[in-house]
Amino acid sequence: MTTKTSPARRLAVGAEHVRGRGTHFRVWAPGRRRVEVVFEDAGGRESPGPQLEPEPGGYFAGASADARPGALYRFRLDGEGPFPDPASRFQPRGPHGPSQIVDPSAYSWRDAAWRGPRREGRVLYELHVGTFTREGTWEAAGRRLESLAELGVTILEIMPVADFPGRFGWGYDGVNLFAPTRLYGAPDDFRAFVDRAHGRGLAVILDVVYNHFGPDGNFLPRFSPSYAKKEQTEWGPAINFDGPDSGPVRSYFTSNAAYWISEYHLDGLRLDATQSIQDSSPVHVLAEAARAARAAAGRRDIVLFAENETQEAKLARSPAAGGYGLDALWNDDFHHAARVALTGRREAYFSDYLGSPQEFISCATRGFLYQGQFYRWQGKRRGTPAADLPPGAFIHYLENHDQVANSFAGRRLSRLAEPACRRALTALLLLGPQTPLLFQGQEYDSSVPFQYFADHEGPLGAAVRGGRRIFLGQFPSMASPEAQAAMEDPGDAAVFDRCKLDDAERSRNHAALALHRDLLGLRREEPFRSQGGGGIAGAVLGASAFALRFSGARGDDRLLVVNLGAGLDLSPAPEPLLAPPGGGAWELHWSSERPAYGGAGAASPVDEEGRWRLPGRCASLLRGASRA
């Protein structure tokens, strides 16, 4: 039975069920003359559904009173197909299979009191659902939430889940932007994960890809070639945000941003590779998506973060200041300086970094290192001035999915860098005024690699393998014939399986867990809690040593002294930054060399007479104390 009734819709496109009234279908297919819904049973047998009526702007819409949640359907276009719904809410058989009608209102939420996160004071934790647990499901990941809350992280950043073909993948080749992948569970499993996280005080944000579609399973060109334009990104055709017929395309993406916030109660988004989003419109699509996401949140707070390799500060400025209204940007500069300091390798895109004390001070006080200077690796200027952005608008990390995978065989810093120096820079990461991010397993020094994996077959699989070899070939250490021959196939299921975290390591590595838990506890103290609200200043103390002073609102200053080299005697003329507050003295509050963390123990870097000797490969946190 069909009906022309058009109920109020949540989204401009897709299949939307209204209890007691059936399901309403709407799709954008300009240039098509006839659009029909085709239903499919569990055995793959088709049955005809309603023919959709044309609407202005290239849309087609109609309803079926008999269509219920769980029903499978596709669209037939002028006799071609049938093809899955471009706005499918679930693809139980993957991108090449039928879409499924989903009723998002059927889930009973328990988070009515949840008000969402604000940017200041947050600690991010990036995870990939498929490798975070051995099972690789939402339900299994939900069982780990208590330990993450106890650790002290506050926002979980989930790698992309928009459905993609194959048995495994990173998620950055998604083709069904509204359908969480069937690989981790059903849509309500995702909702239950978010609900459970909120119950433990954890926010959840989702990494979304708005710069390209994946190369396999993308049926959008069948509905309209206007989704893409001729210009290319490094991953394929750019999205058409500013050309002919771009209005519905923009609506598709801005609706997607709002969809995750409203239907999954997510607390924000992380926007992937925004430098590859091409849009010359008066209002950039990112600004429009940010506005749509915040409107969908209602009274809840959400946070919007972005990856932007070109370091355009305007993304994190308010619309009133000419910006896009995002909250924070990933800062590769901090990571690159830290990686050089920890490994000594200055190759490829690390070649413009020294790992020097001044770089760490500049990152802590200014955010980006490159704010318009010449960047030799790219042969051009990089970045824009960002002095007006608050510290929390920069996201710092020692590891993330990309950077771990870009080391040979996906080796983590726990296998590449000396432990004492890692502990010292972990202190800088977690006590610095910027927003810190941890990558799954980093908190207990996981030895499990994280490699690039993508389950593509045939010519596409060969192209992906070749492309990965070319990309890693920019590193001289991975360009040799021996290294190239040793690179593993991203499509090998064993590679994916090897990247799954090992629960036994978490149980064994008490020292690393204690380090991260204690540092996150210190971060909740003033003046760290306000992210340097009273001011932060730094000084170079030696070739491998520096100090950061955090000014407290009531004179309760903290001094973080980091020395990545050998022990250093600063006498007889110490840096004025080291002067104790209020004429008092400094006392040792915390050290990265505590035996509980696997360290050898370390005394305070300053004695009772005010003489400074910095212990080697150590971070020391001092606080002011009155003299007796």
307 given a catalytic annotation? yes
Residue in 532, 350, 507, 345 with CA at minimum distance from that of residue 435: 532
Q: Where in the chain is CATH 3.20.20.80?
A: 122-330
- What is the rounded distance in angstroms from the CA atom of residue 42 to the CA atom of residue 598? 57
Q: 588 has which bridge partners? A: 622
- What is the rounded distance in angstroms from the CA atom of residue 61 to the CA atom of residue 481? 57
List 173, 207, 272, 445, catalytic entry:
272
Q: How large is the greatest C-alpha to C-alpha distance in the chain, in angstroms? A: 91
pTM for the structure as a whole: 0.96
Q: Where in the chain is CATH 2.60.40.10?
A: 2-106
Q: How long, in residues, is the chain?
A: 628
Phi and psi at 144, nearest 5°, equal: -100, 0
**Spatial contact of 86 and 28, defined as CB atoms under 8 Å apart:** yes
- What is the rounded distance in angstroms from the CA atom of residue 231 to the CA atom of residue 239? 9
H/E run at residue 363: helix 357-366
**Spatial contact of 143 and 455, defined as CB atoms under 8 Å apart:** no
Phi and psi at 285, nearest 5°, equal: -60, -30
- 122-330: CATH topology is TIM Barrel (3.20.20)
For residue 439, the model assigns a pLDDT of 98
CA atoms within 13 A on the CB side of 19: 4
Q: How many CB atoms lie within 10 A of CB 628?
A: 5
List 207, 263, 288, 307, catalytic entry:
307
For residue 270, the model assigns a pLDDT of 98
Average the pLDDT over 286-303 and give the result: 98
pLDDT at 6 over 80: no
Average pLDDT, the chain: 95
H/E run at residue 430: helix 419-431
Q: What would the two tokens of residue 593 be?
A: 């060399």
Predicted confidence (pLDDT) per residue in 192-206, tens digit: 999 999 999 999 999
Residue 517, SS3? Answer: helix
List, as one string, the DSSP characters of 247-289.
Answer: HHHHHHHHHHHHHHHHHS---EEEETTGGG----SSS-HHHHH
Banded pLDDT at 5 (limits 50, 70, 90): very low
Residue in 174, 186, 37, 46 with CA at minimum distance from that of residue 102: 186
For residue 2, the model assigns a pLDDT of 45
CATH number of 2-106: 2.60.40.10
Residue 182, SS3? Answer: helix
Predicted confidence (pLDDT) per residue in 437-486, tens digit: 999 999 999 999 999 999 998 999 999 999 898 888 898 888 888 878 78
